[in-house]
Amino acid sequence: MAQSVPTLLLDLDPQGNLTQHFTNFTPDDPPNVSMADVLDRSSDATLADAIVETRRGGLFLVPSGFDELQAVQDTLVGKPGAEFSVKRALDSLPAGQFTDVLIDCRPATDLVTRNAFIAADQVLIVLQPEADALRGFDFTLVAIDDLQTYLGKELPVAGFVVNQVDYRRNDHKKQLEWIKERSAADSIPILGDPIPVSTDLSKLNAVGMGIDEMSSPSIRLRTLAAGFQTIVNALREERSAA
């Protein structure tokens, strides 16, 4: 089923998983114009030049430049206004061209991720119930606080999404309880139900296919799809209230 409104995805992860899931581009066969070119100050490429259609109707993508994106980030370090590069690129698009813009970042607080924070209206933090992931979460909150302190950018945290929960593991159950306690303490809601580890979801993700594209999804997958819609609705409500 085609998307009802045009949505733009920005792949700011040098690993480029989003790009590979939704297009045929790979590190060995990269796009002609990518996010790396848009951010490269020696290039004349605009964000509009880099937008490509995906396998999903109504869903458009600015692909990652893979290793080139990392290389361009290194050239921006220390440059005036480097943190505002993505925002400037997005501001160049006609108003209203896309109803939603989703920015995918790697789990790091590097320059490209800070660029995403500056450009964003809100942030959604995806957590896995693993000790390393939860330690990284604290770094993310510190980075968001630094934006307010040093750049005057207030970035609301719309909520947490808890992903890849294995309820057979006691450590996952323990970490999930920690996330719930942290959610209550920080007044950051958990959006939707925790998403369990699912082989079916992994297979769909690998081919860039949605649950709604399956001819007969299982009850389990239909339940997960309803949960994803709950997350999207919550993000839109948060944005409307801002």
Query: The domain spanning residue 178 has which CATH number?
Result: 3.40.50.300
Domain that holds residue 45: 7-241
For the residues 218-224, what does the mean pLDDT come to?
90
Looking at residue 63, its pLDDT comes to: 97
- Band (171; pLDDT cuts 50, 70, 90): very high
- 1 within some domain: no
Contacts of 112 (CB under 8 A, 6+ apart): 12, 14, 39, 69, 73, 86, 105
Q: Which residue has the higher pLDDT, 118 or 1?
A: 118
pTM metric for this prediction: 0.89
Residue type, 199: T
Q: Which residue has the higher pLDDT, 134 or 36?
A: 36
Looking at residue 4, its pLDDT comes to: 56
Residue 25 CB coordination number (10 Å): 21
Of all helices (H) and strands (E), which one includes residue 222? helix 219-241
Contacts of 212 (CB under 8 A, 6+ apart): 1, 225
Residue 55 CB coordination number (10 Å): 15
Structural contact between residues 122 and 242, judged by C-beta atoms closer than 8 angstroms = yes
The answer on pLDDT for 16 being more than 60 is yes
For the residues 52-62, what does the mean pLDDT come to?
92
- 2 within some domain: no
- 112 within some domain: yes
Q: Check the CA dihedral 152-182-106-61 and report its sign.
A: negative
User: How many domains, the chain?
Assistant: 1
- Band (14; pLDDT cuts 50, 70, 90): very high
- 94 within some domain: yes
